[in-house]
Amino acid sequence: MSAFVVEYARMSDNLIQRIERIGQQLAKATRIACLTGAGISAESGVATFRDANGLWNGFRIEEVATPEAFTQDPQRVWSFYAARRQALLAARPNPGHHALARMKQLCPEFTLITQNVDGLHQQAGSHDLICLHGDIWIDRCNACGWQRRAQQVVETVPTCPACSRHVRPGVVWFGEILPQDALERAIQKCCSAQIMLVVGTSSLVHPAASLATWARQAGAALIEINLEPTPLTDIADESLQGSASNILSALVDSWPQT
Ligand code: OAD
C-alpha cells in the first residue's frame, strides 16, 4: 500500500466539497451496495478491457472469452488467461480496494459486488464479496465439475485429473450465465440499498450494469465514480469524475467517525 499516494492536491475544491457531502450521506446510510469494475484495479497495474490499452483492443472476445473459442482452441484461450494470471502475480491492492474494505467496517450493511476476477478485493480484506464474473485463479473442469485453486501459472492447458478433459479458468465467458446465487444475492442487496456506488466500470456489460438501474428504480441514490462519463452517468445522482483510489480514499476519510 505504501507504493500508492492519495493525491488530494489534484482534486478541485468543488470535487472535494462534493466528496465531503457524499461522505456524510454515506455515513448516515445503513445499507450500501457497491459494484466495481476493472477501473478500480487499473491503478494496481491490471489492464482494463475497453480503455485505450484495454485487453479487448488487443484480443478478439470471440477468440479468447467464449465457450466456443475454448472448444475450438483450448490452448489459445488458456494462454490468454495464463498471461493474465502472470501479470496479476505482481499486482497489489491499491487504496481504492482498501477504502472499500474499510467501508465494510463502517457501514452496518455494506455489500461489495465485483465484476473483477483478479482477487485484489479479497487481498485487501473484502472476503465476503459477491463475484459476478468468477475467479481467474480457479481451475475447473466443465465436464465433471472438478475444481481447484491454482497455485502457480501453468502455460499448457491442463487436463482434468478426474476425467481427462481440458481444464478451464473459473471465469464467466461471454454467452455464459452468471453464477445464479451470486446474481440473486447481488440483485437483492442492490434493490434494498439506500445508496449504490458504481466504481470503475464502463457499465456496458449486462446483467452487472443493470444492477445500478434496478437499484435506482428501487429508490437507491446512485453515485458513480469513473474517469469519464458512462451510459450510467445520466441517471446517476452524483457522478464523481477522477481516480477511483483517490476518490474512495477521500470518501472514507470524510466519514465522520474516521
Ligand atoms: P471496462 O474496461 O469496460 O471499463 C473500465 C472502466 O473503468 C472505464 O469506464 C474507465 O473509464 C474506468 N477507469 C479506468 N481507470 C480508472 C480509474 N483509475 N479510476 C476510475 N475509473 C477508471 O471494464 P468493466 O466495466 O469492468 O467481463 O468491464 C465489464 C466486463 O467486461 C468485465 O468484467 C469483463 C469484460 O469483458 C467478462 O470477461 C465476462
Instruction: Identify the bridge partners of residue 112 per DSSP, sorted by sequence position.
Output: 34
For residue 12, the model assigns a pLDDT of: 84
Residue nearest to atom 2 of ligand 1 (CA): 49
Residue nearest to atom 33 of ligand 1 (CA): 115
User: Does the pLDDT at position 53 exceed 90?
Assistant: no
**What does the CA dihedral 38, 159, 72, 179 come to, rounded to 10 degrees?**
-40
Q: How far is the CA of 29 from the centre of ligand 1 (A)?
A: 27
Phi, psi of 36 (to 5 degrees): -115, 155
Q: 110-150, pLDDT tens digit by residue?
A: 999 999 999 999 999 998 999 999 999 999 999 999 999 99
Q: Where is pLDDT greater, at 101 or 16?
A: 101
Cell digits of residue 198 = 458504481
Question: Is the whole-model pTM more than 0.75?
Answer: yes
Q: How far is the CA of 67 from the centre of ligand 1 (A)?
A: 22
**Active site members:** 133
Q: 55-90, pLDDT tens digit by residue?
A: 998 899 999 999 999 999 999 999 999 999 999 999
Instruction: Tell me the best of 199, 205, 239 to mutate to test the pocket of ligand 1, counting ligand atoms within 8 Å of each CB and taking the most.
Output: 205
Check pocket membership of 183 for ligand 1, CB cut-off 6 A: no
For residue 117, the model assigns a pLDDT of: 98
**Strand ranges of the sheet holding 168-171, from the earlier edge strand across to the other edge:** 147-149, 134-140, 168-171
Q: 10-30, pLDDT tens digit by residue?
A: 788 888 899 999 999 999 999
Q: How far is the CA of 39 from the centre of ligand 1 (A)?
A: 5
Atom of ligand 1 nearest to the CA of 49: 2
At residue 4 the predicted structure's pLDDT band, cuts being 50, 70 and 90, is low
Q: Answer yes or no: are the C-beta atoms of 30 and 251 closer than 8 Å.
A: no
User: Does the pLDDT at position 8 exceed 80?
Assistant: no
Would strands 109-114 and 31-36 be described as parallel, antiparallel, or unpaired?
parallel
